[in-house]
Amino acid sequence: MLRIAIQKSGRLSEKSNALLKECGIQVENGNKKLKAQARNFPLEVMYLRDDDIPQYVADGVVDVGILGENGILEKEKAVEVIQPLGFAKCRLSLAVSKEVNYTGIQYFEGRKIATSYPKILKRHLDKLGVNAEVEEISGSVEIAPSIGLADGVFDIVSTGSTLMTNGLKEVETLMRSQAVMIATPNLSEERQLILEKLLFRIKAVKSADQNKYILLNAPNSAVEEICNILPGMKSPTILPLAREGWSSIHSVVKEDEFWEVIDNLQGYGAEGILVVPIEKMII
């Protein structure tokens, strides 16, 4: 049995539970218990505070955990990052009151910065050669400048709306973060095998998220050029159409290249282009 820790509530918890579901793992926790067992996979899920997950993984209380990179870097526990997950993306940034005439990072020299991530902030300030006072607070960081507690804040930013609501503006991004899976050192051979099966499923789900299946009709004279645009996993599938001189081409295109590829395909006379989501993708 592999033991995994995920955040017990919040957006990261929802995304983590959704990932397990996409991997075909059925975990029922209707009563919001702190521990639940999967019905169809050797997995036990523990629902914890995100701040506690690095400690539980480092101590071997659980074998793996899902949380943001920022939480790992702040806690500085002996864990191994084994898989980036691509969701819960955010940045950790410095912000000041919108009235401040900010001219650069040296603005913070000798000033006070409020944050819930003092270790991450201190490392970056040292690297940048800025000597600022770091004020650690556990929550409501954005209010610090307005009540005179600090001259600026260092906090997680997703859209920036929370900063604007509190009269702040983002001025420096010091790091970017996403959800990752971490593991305890020295897993037993049995649990390592289960983990590899879980990672196989996760990679199949993430590969599917990053790609689309594409079908199109094209004149035979353009097939070679189109195949150069759509290499697919190995090569495109080409099927003759009933209409003489035309073929149907099936392939895979990366999500972040999609619109550029579509423009190029139309330039070669492609018609009837269909784009279909991929549920799972085994590479």
For residue 272, the cross-strand partners are none
Closest CA to 70 of 83, 51, 56: 51
pLDDT tens, residue by residue, 148-181: 999 999 999 988 888 999 999 999 999 999 999 9
Looking at the fold, whether 94 and 172 belong to one and the same domain comes out as yes
E strand segments, 110-236? 112-115, 133-136, 152-157, 168-177, 179-183, 211-219
State residue 31's pLDDT score: 66
State residue 186's pLDDT score: 87
Band of residue 131 on the pLDDT scale cut at 50, 70, 90: very high
Looking at the fold, whether 156 and 189 belong to one and the same domain comes out as no
**CATH number for the domain including 251?**
3.30.70.120
> Is 43 a member of any domain?
yes
Using CA atoms, how far apart are residues 110 and 113, in angstroms rounded to an integer? 10
> Is 220 a member of any domain?
yes
Looking at the fold, whether 265 and 223 belong to one and the same domain comes out as yes
State residue 72's pLDDT score: 94
State residue 97's pLDDT score: 96
State residue 30's pLDDT score: 67
The mean pLDDT of the chain is 92
> Is 283 a member of any domain?
no
Total structural domains within the chain: 3
Q: Which residue's entry shows tokens 């997703």?
A: 158
Is pLDDT above 90 for 46?
Answer: yes
**CATH number for the domain including 138?**
3.40.190.10
pLDDT tens, residue by residue, 69-121: 999 999 999 999 999 999 999 999 999 999 999 999 999 999 999 999 999 99
- Give the global pTM: 0.83
> Is 219 a member of any domain?
yes
Looking at the fold, whether 14 and 144 belong to one and the same domain comes out as no
Domain around 139? 90-177
